[in-house]
Structure 1
Amino acid sequence: MIFISKYLVPKGYTGLAVFPFVFLKYNRFKTDYVLINHEKIHLRQQLEMLIILFYLVYGIEFLFRLFQYKNWNLAYRNISFERESYTNELNLDYLKHRPFWAFLKYLRINDF
């Protein structure tokens, strides 16, 4: 289910996935199928990790990346969940054949 809320989506972002909802900053983004696909990938990740574990791992990895890169945007873009979503957001059929816990492929262990 998609909701529009310019107040819930953080500044600098256009969408946010909080299982089972997708929040978009503006109504015009409802037709942005790439953005919707990106957020749906996050919903699948959240479901696979039983939601709470997703947010815990996401937060820990973000903090690690922030320490590593010392840059908010670089840290965000290098979180394994975001790397999977950005890499596959153009493939609108990705979720039809996505393997279970596919985000692990995007986790760069050698960076830890």
Structure 2
Amino acid sequence: MTVPVDQLSDPAVRAFVTALNANDRAAFQAVLTPGATMSDDGSDRDLAEWTEREVFSSNGHMDVESEADGGRSLVVSYRNDTWGAMRTAWRFDVDGGKVSRFETGQA
């Protein structure tokens, strides 16, 4: 079972998932704080390069399985054209209504 995106608890995380699933670069950038950071499987990555490769050029999509921590921790079936589908965990730091950091990795 999945959690509908419009029912995610945290507004910034909801906007992040909505923009990612729509492959909307402008909306995605708008939900991030200036200087936002991220990590993948415990290693910090360049956010712009990573999102271009793992999300936008490969049609990334998040199907949220569950949420915790007020909507700032998600378990997601993530898929893209490069890797197919995988179960991933996502954790978000939100500052002033925008995502300042996210961490993802295999769940």
TM-score in terms of structure 2 length: 0.34
* Structure with the larger helix share: 1
- The structure that has the greater radius of gyration is 1
TM-score in terms of structure 1 length: 0.33
